[in-house]
Amino acid sequence: MVSGVAVASAAGANAAVIRAGSTSLLCVLIAVPLVLLLLLSVTRHWSYPGLWPDALQWSQWRVMLSGDRGLLDALVSSLLIAVIVAVGATTAGFLTSQRIAGHRRRGVLLMLALLPFAISPVVLGVTLNYGFIRLQLAASLWGVILAQFLFAYAYAVLLLSGFWNTRIAALSELAESIGADRFQIWWRVRLPLAAGLLGVSLFQTFLISWFDFALARLIGAGRVQTLPLLVFDYFGSGDFRLAAACGVLLVGLPLAAVLLNRRLLAWPLTAASSRV
Amino acid sequence: MNGAQTLDAWLKVQAIRKRFGARPLFDKVSFEVARGQTLAVIGASGSGKTTLLRILAGLDRDHQGRIFIDDRDVTSLPARQRQALYLYQEPLLFPHLNVFENIAFGLRLRRLPKTQVREQVEQVLGEIELQGLDARKPESLSGGQRQRVAFGRALVVQPALLLLDEPFGSLDPETRAAMQELFGRVASQHRITSVFVTHDLKEALRVGDQFGLIADGRLRNYIDRAAFCADPDSGVQRELRFWEALRVEAIGSGAKPTP
């Protein structure tokens, strides 16, 4: 009996160690690149094999924030594109996913929504570029928005299709039975119930656009400058410190949004547990 | 007995036909319900009880036949214009709203003044015996309380017709009996006309003024309890024989009821 208890407590201790170890590993894997990026952005000289930079400086941040190197324009473009893509894709995705949920060929349509992810963005960008040149959308802000929208929209459809279950259908019917018209069903039932998931969709589709490089490069053709393109340009010209400073801005904005609103990450988990 | 006629019919259903693909579900189902009366409908699983209610509510309009509520032909009207409120088997509440707002839902749709909404909701809260729980969220309520809220939400909009789809099926026997009593009291007080679907014979006899039996695509209509009990197909005779046999057996074994 005693040995049984001892074995159980040893197994419990092992499980705790494994849990703590895997959590620490996860934190390190996430934190190390971020810390390194931040450090690089303020480094003046870092010689091998030193674990810490020899000297720090803020000059790359001053250069960046002065707006002389096109950062402000790229930031505004990136924000504008990402906001339009996120709002457009989430709105269209929500409406489309509702239609798909009631469709008899639901499985096939959801498979189609997966297609953009089965094709490489570069391949799709090259293909789109041909069509966009014909439509005079190449090398324009709207061309980049439309190209990114295709990916973000497909993603939003896949994410939001999980919302349309039998319970939502029953609640919608119930509201109609009480006297709600179509608008009232959307406004008073569906939208409030989907608010959390819509927030997640807005955030995720914003990220798809915010971090996109291939489509912005191919469709924008150098005329549309975004933050990821700027980071790559700085890096390509050997100015890795400025690239790092720009990278901090690129990563920092969505990170701040997540920290300010943790529900953006937590919602899918809580929703999954509440459905059980 | 099919298509029995009553005076002062509030709900008139005429020759409803419904098919699911090639399979016929209803063939010329007709019945009437007098104002303020409850038609209790029983039937086996899959006999079409829920579909009948959905047709009456306007949630399923793919059928033939006509439906009149208070002499108004509602056959082609969408659900929102019928004033026929459908109560689900599960106490379906809006999870994002508290008890007060769940009950007030129909009044908010009708854009009534705030003071009127408060007055009416508080009155209903009293009738369904849920005073003091108005700020609670649905997930913190028991099954019986949730069903009361669903009932209150229906009551507050004074529907022309109330359609109840085995509403107390998921409740324990004690709560179920209390809800049947509450329904009977409030329905009679507000003169609510209703169709109450159940597979529980005892529940049908408790809540019904008129009775219906769905079988083989038809609805047999019984004008009162006596007619319903007299029909061997209603199951009442079988039930009585069962309890009678049990009683005789208990007497034969000399068992005495505990006080």
Q: Is B80 on the interface with A (CB under 8 A)?
A: yes
Q: Domain boundaries in chain A?
A: 2-56, 61-275
Q: Is A271 on the interface with B (CB under 8 A)?
A: no
- Please calculate the CA angle B226-B230-B232 and round it to the nearest 5 degrees: 150
Residue B1 binned pLDDT confidence (cut-offs 50, 70, 90): very low
Q: Is A192 on the interface with B (CB under 8 A)?
A: yes
Q: What's the fold here for domain A61-275?
A: MetI-like fold (1.10.3720)
Contact A178, B85 (CB under 8 A): yes
B86 CB neighbours in chain A (<8 A) are 173-174, 177
Contact B150, A175 (CB under 8 A): no
Structure token digits, residue A78: 């990136």
Statement: residue B144 has pLDDT above 50: yes
Contact B84, B56 (CB under 8 A): yes
Statement: residue B22 has pLDDT above 60: yes
pLDDT (tens digit per residue) in A200-218:
999 999 999 999 999 999 9
Find, in chain A, the residue whose alpha carbon is nearest to that of B92: A171
Q: How far apart are CA A95 and CA A89, in angstroms?
A: 10
Q: Is B77 on the interface with A (CB under 8 A)?
A: no
Contact B153, B102 (CB under 8 A): yes
**Is there a contact between A176 and B153 if contact means CB atoms under 8 Å apart?**
no
pLDDT (tens digit per residue) in A86-107:
999 999 999 999 999 888 898 8
DSSP-assigned letter for residue A161: G
- 3-class state of residue B27 by DSSP: strand
- Please calculate the CA angle B43-B46-B51 and round it to the nearest 5 degrees: 85
Mean pLDDT over all residues of chain B? 89
Statement: residue A272 has pLDDT above 50: no
Statement: residue A269 has pLDDT above 60: no
The backbone torsions φ and ψ at residue B218, rounded to the nearest 5 degrees and listed phi first, read -130, 160
Distance from CA of B132 to the nearest CA of A (A): 24
Structure token digits, residue B152: 């209150």
Kindly state the average pLDDT of the residues B36-48.
Answer: 91
Q: Is B86 on the interface with A (CB under 8 A)?
A: yes
